[in-house]
Amino acid sequence: MPLSMVQSPPRAAQELGTVRAEGAANPPAAEEVVGQVRPVRPRVAQAERILEELKAAQARKQASAESDGASSSRRQGQPNLLSPDWIQARLGGAGFSSSTSSSSRSKPSAPRSARTASAGRHILDEEERAIRLTMLEKTGPRYSVESAAAYFRSRQVEVMKRRITVSMPLVSFLTRVVLDYQAGKEEERRPQRAHEFLGIIGELGPAFIKAGQALSSRPDLLPAEYLNELQKLQDRLPPFPTELAFKVIEEELGRPMSEVFEHIEPEPVAAASIGQVYRGVLKTGEKVAVKVQRPNCEEIIAVDIHILRQLSGLLASFLRLLNRELDLRQIIDEFGKLIYEEIDYVKEADNATRFMALFGDLDGIFVPRVFWKHTGRRLLVMEWVEGQRLTSNDLDNRPQLVRTMVQCSLRQMLEEGFFHADPHGGNLLATPDGKLCYLDFGMMSEVNQKQRYGIIEAVIHLVNRDFESLARLYVRLGFIPQEQDLRPIIESLNDALPDVLNASVSELNFKSVIDKLGAVFYKYPFRLPEFYTAILRCLGVLEGLAIQIDPSFRIINDAYPYIAGRLLIDDAPEVQDILEVLLFNQGEPRWDRLENLLESAADSKSYDVTLALNRMVEYILSQRAERLRYKVADDIVDELDELSSDVAKYAAGLLVQQAQLVSKQTGLPLLPPFSFLARSIPSPVETQAMTNAARLLSALRRSQGFEPARLQPAVEKFARNPEGRRILLEVGVNLAERMSSRTIRAIFNLSDDGKRRTGGRTGSR
Ligand SMILES: Nc1ncnc2c1ncn2[C@@H]1O[C@H](COP(=O)(O)OP(=O)(O)OP(=O)(O)O)[C@@H](O)[C@H]1O
């Protein structure tokens, strides 16, 4: 693969950056750019001196705080040592903005909790990050169509050569597919063509490999055969020469490597499309992983995206012949933004720092620390982690590691909304002390609160096979256009999923659900946002990895209890909306679903049943449940009435049975009242109402946080509320009425079959 196809001048990336920063229509000539020197060197010494001062001051501050128990430094008028302003002032302030604004694309600085969360081990990371950012270029590489166009205007010949290399295999491939289509053989030949496509993409270099990987999780764009082939794309390329890597390291450090590293092994431990990783030791003694970007990586990627955009019209006309209408430019631009994030190692370091702050202290999780002081846009220095691959047979705690991995991923996606979107085997290690270590923070994804609720809702509808609600949710989330007729989609979902979902929750294989859903996404005009495809990919990868370790593993087995627990304890209005859709059908309670939810949630560690019951009380008393609560109360009366009658009959039947046994063993006649009861009471059989109640009680008892005493405040709250009192009174009176009428009927031996309710829990099953 001609990686060096576009040989740019040494500072071409900087030039791209210059054009970006200035938004100039005419790019500066390459020679002018080569002459630019970044003001890194003098600042290194200066900033390091400041860092030393800062560390010393920090130590003094801590010591004084420990001795007098107060943060006296502030009171004595000392500056806030962490403030970017202070750092900037010490640097002379020339043209550098504050740490957080110095990179407009960077995530906000790791939250303060980062320091408390990972206290001790990483106390100075944030300060080092702030200092380091003042030394780096203001912004990292940023995807800009205009800047690329301006840059490549003066490099037409190189672009043309690359364009021929790229377009030949792509156009010839698409021609073959169109011919298949016209011959009515496209579906039949799809697996073969998908395989050819994989070969072509793999040969075209980093931008295409990354694009192929991104496409592999886009069921709305490609059929399953292509997705499956593209998922095999190996992000492994032959390593580039170590001398070049060391050159990049020195450029990024702004000084000789020997000033920072005691030693770096000459052979990389891994080489991927964007960079390669070396193992080394810092002068200060720490073992580190040194990730170095391929030389000219930004230009290699920029030219390919530029060419893809140029070819988009032609490619789209091929797709039209296949009856696919796609906005290729928009898709390419989305991809461009993603890949540009990946080639900025400061962004990756930011991700790692943020990830550590959020998850580094969780039980069983390890996140390596970033050495900010030595990290740059093309160089990432991280703590070296000794560990084995998760799939290694030598590990004896693999099932535990899998559970930790799944629980941590769910927490990332559904609680914090910041998740590792590429948790494959190479990015997860098992450490010698039994922890799960995450590596490679280049591909992270974010989900906002609303989207998180959307995911929870989608899983709930899927598990309950409520495809109508699922389709409506997709419209609400903007995956399907508003005007789309939903009936065929609901039908397709129904047709596609019953086989899969007929399995019990514990047998449900997530990959097959994704595949079947994917077929529907492909057939109808779905446009899936990045967060959703990232989640599907992440869950699919997790399940695949987990199954390698434990073939019986089903991700939904761990995910559903977690989601059920979240639903029951979260009091956000969005969650109440989901619960209403789930638990009521046109005002009729669906008790079986509540029961399933409570049962599933019982297996979740992050769920507290007392909290859930309190939430239910609050909900029932709330304004929004006004129309539902009396229906709920009626059903409870039915249920208790039926249950008490069944239990009484069962107990009486049991007594009679025992008496009959004794009479048989002793030869004595059956005495009253047993002789009387034996005529009217059938032998004891556990009824549906009793089974349900037993299941419910057992689920409550096994739930985290179940303590009857803790329920008291909720009960009191209910009883003190006027509406609650009215409901209690109504339940009490109705129940008493039913019971007395039942007793009278029993005494006079009248049948009560006609009185049995038809609705309620058992009735709605
Ligand atoms: N901190 C570390 N400690 C030990 N090994 C590491 C560390 N970081 C990276 N590695 C090794 O280098 C390999 C590649 O690292 P990483 O995944 O970060 O690179 P990449 O270029 O982004 O690759 P890809 O995206 O294909 O996974 C890892 O699979 C691991 O073997």
Q: Which residues make Cβ contacts (< 8 Å) with residue 683, sequence separation at least 6?
A: 653, 656, 657
* DSSP conformation letters of 510-546: HHHHHHHHHHHHHHTT----HHHHHHHHHHHHHHHHH
* DSSP conformation letters of 258-286: GGTEEEE-SS-SEE-SSEEEEEEEETTS-
Q: 110 in a domain, yes or no?
A: no
- What is the model's pLDDT at position 95? 29
384 lines ligand 1 (CB under 6 A): yes
382 lines ligand 1 (CB under 6 A): yes
pLDDT per residue over 661-675, tens digit each? 887 788 777 777 777
Q: 57 in a domain, yes or no?
A: no
Report the separation in Å between the CA atom of 442 and the middle of ligand 1, taken as the mean of its atom positions.
10
763 lines ligand 1 (CB under 6 A): no
Q: 366 in a domain, yes or no?
A: no
- What is the model's pLDDT at position 83? 39
Indicate the top mutation candidate among 213, 216, 440 to test ligand 1's pocket, ranked by most ligand atoms within 8 A of CB.
440
- What is the model's pLDDT at position 475? 95
Q: 100 in a domain, yes or no?
A: no
Residue 181 has pLDDT above 60, yes or no: yes
**Of 326, 341, 356, at which residue does a domain stop?**
341
Helices and strands in the chain: count of H runs, count of E runs: 33, 13
- What is the model's pLDDT at position 735? 84
Q: 437 in a domain, yes or no?
A: no
Which one of the listed residues 180, 220, 344, 422 is annotated catalytic?
422
ipTM > 0.90 for the complex: yes
> Which residue range forms the structural domain that includes residue 469?
446-575+594-625
pLDDT per residue over 450-473, tens digit each? 999 999 899 888 888 889 999 999
Ligand 1 atom nearest to 271, measured from its CA: 21
Q: Using CA atoms, how far apart are residues 371 and 336, in angstroms rounded to an integer?
A: 28
427 lines ligand 1 (CB under 6 A): yes
Residue 686 — very low, low, confident or very high, per pLDDT cuts 50/70/90? confident
pLDDT per residue over 214-234, tens digit each? 898 899 999 999 999 998 887
Q: Is there a single domain that holds both residue 510 and residue 644?
A: no
Report the separation in Å between the CA atom of 533 and the middle of ligand 1, taken as the mean of its atom positions.
23
Report the separation in Å between the CA atom of 271 and the middle of ligand 1, taken as the mean of its atom positions.
9
State yes or no: is 422 an active-site residue.
Answer: yes
Structure token digits, residue 257: 């490597």
3-state helix, strand, coil in the chain (%, to 5): 65, 5, 30
Q: Is there a single domain that holds both residue 499 and residue 514?
A: yes
Q: Using CA atoms, how far apart are residues 697 and 451, in angstroms rounded to an integer?
A: 34
Q: Is there a single domain that holds both residue 611 and residue 697?
A: no
Residue 201 has pLDDT above 60, yes or no: yes
Q: 500 in a domain, yes or no?
A: yes
Residue 486 — very low, low, confident or very high, per pLDDT cuts 50/70/90? very high
637 or 179: which leads in pLDDT: 179
Q: Is there a single domain that holds both residue 600 and residue 514?
A: yes
272 lines ligand 1 (CB under 6 A): yes
Q: Is there a single domain that holds both residue 634 and residue 754?
A: yes
Residue 295 has pLDDT above 50, yes or no: yes
pLDDT per residue over 21-34, tens digit each? 333 334 333 333 33
Residue 650 — very low, low, confident or very high, per pLDDT cuts 50/70/90? confident
pTM over 0.90: no
Q: Is there a single domain that holds both residue 520 and residue 644?
A: no
- What is the model's pLDDT at position 502? 54
444 lines ligand 1 (CB under 6 A): no
**Of 287, 309, 341, at which residue does a domain stop?**
341
- What is the model's pLDDT at position 70? 40
Residue 112 — very low, low, confident or very high, per pLDDT cuts 50/70/90? very low
Q: 3 in a domain, yes or no?
A: no
- What is the model's pLDDT at position 72? 37
Q: Is there a single domain that holds both residue 600 and residue 615?
A: yes
Give the number of domains in the chain: 3
Report the separation in Å between the CA atom of 136 and the middle of ligand 1, taken as the mean of its atom positions.
24
Residue 10 has pLDDT above 50, yes or no: no
Q: Is there a single domain that holds both residue 655 and residue 639?
A: yes
Ligand 1 atom nearest to 235, measured from its CA: 26
Residue 80 has pLDDT above 50, yes or no: no
Task: Enumerate the H helices of 69-92 as residue ranges.
Answer: 72-75, 84-91
Q: Is there a single domain that holds both residue 496 and residue 621?
A: yes
Residue 566 has pLDDT above 90, yes or no: no
Q: 56 in a domain, yes or no?
A: no
Residue 89 — very low, low, confident or very high, per pLDDT cuts 50/70/90? very low
Indicate the top mutation candidate among 213, 338, 439, 443 to test ligand 1's pocket, ranked by most ligand atoms within 8 A of CB.
439
- What is the model's pLDDT at position 47? 54
Cα angle for residues 492, 493, 499 (degrees, 5° grid): 105
Contact predicate 442/378, CB 8 Å: no
Residue 312 — very low, low, confident or very high, per pLDDT cuts 50/70/90? very high
Q: Is there a single domain that holds both residue 451 and residue 474?
A: yes
Report the separation in Å between the CA atom of 382 and the middle of ligand 1, taken as the mean of its atom positions.
10
CB-CB neighbours of 249 under 10 Å = 25
211 lines ligand 1 (CB under 6 A): no
Report the separation in Å between the CA atom of 290 and the middle of ligand 1, taken as the mean of its atom positions.
9
Amino acid at 199: G
Q: Is there a single domain that holds both residue 482 and residue 566?
A: yes
Q: Is there a single domain that holds both residue 638 and residue 567?
A: no
